[in-house]
Structure 1
Amino acid sequence: MEWLAKTLFLSFLLQLLVLLPIAMAEANVKPKWVLQNETTDGASPWLRNAANPRPRPGGCMFRPWICEQGEHPPTARMRCCRNRCVDLNSDDAHCGLCALRCPFTWQCCRGVCINTNISPLNCGRCGNRCPFRVPCSFGMCGYAQPPPRPPRPFPPRPPRPFPPPHPHRPQPTPCPPTQPGPPPRTCPPGLPPPLAGDHSPSRS
């Protein structure tokens, strides 16, 4: 048993002598990223002097007038709500007033929450009007409706009566009778009398 214990002890010493130099060498080597990024201070002196020690907080909470600056649509009503510039006429989360949220599927039209799925004055979007007597369904004018009926034909107009004779217009003179039999007829002014033997019916 003694020789077995001595053998184990000697093998342990040999392993210790082999691993000890390797461990000492790894302890003295530092990683490259530590050597490259290692600094003594977080900022340079120039950066500390150039930076503002008391920066102004962002947003519009302490500067609400900045919401009215810039380019906006003519119908926009810009206000500062929750430290953010919003349009109270079209923002669904701030419709008319700050934090006044429209229901789901509703839209904010001119500061009022409107259900654009059924509104005939705002069908599908703000300002889209449906024709007269056409309903709005699912945001579409006249959805699943029968086609419009054709217009009814107007009754025919009765013929107008002949105007009375003009008082200053020359009256037609009767044609001279050509032969006995048919009654004489009137000849319009400027036309010659009928020929002999013309027995066509008179036109009065």
Structure 2
Amino acid sequence: MLVSKLQFVIVSTLLLLLSLFVSTIQGYYSNATTTAAAGASTSPWLKKVTTNWPRPPRPRGCRGRPWICRRKEEFPEKRPDPFRQRWRCCRDRCVDVSSDVYNCGLCGTRCPFSWQCCGGFCSNTNISPFNCGRCGNRCPYGMRCLCGMCGYAEPDLPP
């Protein structure tokens, strides 16, 4: 009889501890979900990740379909223009490689500081007689290009 009373006390104590443990766990998880829902102690990153799921698809660039860049090209009708636009896919975006100083002629070819990309070639427009001041501005014969101007600081020739 003494053994059965002892077993009863042990079993009832274990059941009491188990029910206390279960209620504590339930309270913890219900408090954690209300706290997360209220946003009291969650980080902005965690809140963004949990509320924006599933993510919307990223807008696709031209990496998987480079032909969309060629649609932007303008083809000349009669004579070829040396400065016509040539679009290429560089780093997942369409770029005009005939005038972009960060992708001059090819993707990733960068022009030096203060130079311009003229027709896919880097040109110093401060001193170039064929691209004086801007692309395609040609100085007359015998005049120098200085500071981006044709004939700057040259003496006037007698008539």
TM-score with structure 1 length normalisation?
A: 0.46
Q: CA deviation at 1:65?
A: 1.1
Q: 2:118 aligned to 97, 102, 109, which one?
A: 109
- Greater share of helix: 2
Q: 1:92 aligned to 95, 101, 104, which one?
A: 101
The one-letter code sitting in structure 2 at the alignment partner of 1:142 is G
Tell me, in whole angstroms, the C-alpha distance in 1 between the residues paired with 2:104 and 2:63.
19
Q: CA deviation at 1:58?
A: 2.0
Structure 2, unmatched stretches of 5+, are 1-37, 39-49, 77-83
Tell me, in whole angstroms, the C-alpha distance in 2 between the residues paired with 1:88 and 1:109.
9
User: What fraction of aligned residue pairs are identical, expressed as a percent?
Assistant: 60
Residues 135-170 of structure 1: CA deviation (Å, up to 9, x unaligned): 0000000111111220xxxxxxxxxxxxxxxxxxxx
Say which structure, 1 or 2, has more relative contact order (CA 8 Å, 6+ apart): 2
Q: CA deviation at 1:69?
A: 2.1
Tell me, in whole angstroms, the C-alpha distance in 2 between the residues paired with 1:73 and 1:85.
17
Tell me, in whole angstroms, the C-alpha distance in 1 between the residues paired with 2:107 and 2:89.
8
Which residue in the other structure is 1:55 paired with?
A: 57
Which residue in the other structure is 1:77 paired with?
A: 86
State the number of aligned residues: 104
Tell me, in whole angstroms, the C-alpha distance in 2 between the residues paired with 1:56 and 1:92.
27
Tell me, in whole angstroms, the C-alpha distance in 1 between the residues paired with 2:113 and 2:123.
11
Structure 1, unmatched stretches of 5+, are 1-33, 35-40, 151-204
Which residue in the other structure is 2:154 paired with?
A: 145
Tell me, in whole angstroms, the C-alpha distance in 1 between the residues paired with 2:69 and 2:146.
37
User: How do 1:104-183 residues align onto structure 2 when only pairs under 5 Å count?
Assistant: 104-150=113-159
Q: 2:68 aligned to 53, 66, 70, which one?
A: 66
Q: CA deviation at 1:64?
A: 0.9
Q: CA deviation at 1:72?
A: 4.7
Q: CA deviation at 1:55?
A: 3.2
The RMSD of aligned alpha carbons is 2.6
The one-letter code sitting in structure 2 at the alignment partner of 1:133 is G
Flag the 1:71–1:80 CA change in 2: closer, same or farther, 3 A: closer
Q: CA deviation at 1:66?
A: 1.0
User: How do 1:17-56 residues align onto structure 2 when only pairs under 5 Å count?
Assistant: 42=51, 55=57
The one-letter code sitting in structure 2 at the alignment partner of 1:67 is C
Which residue in the other structure is 2:27 paired with?
A: none
The one-letter code sitting in structure 2 at the alignment partner of 1:88 is V
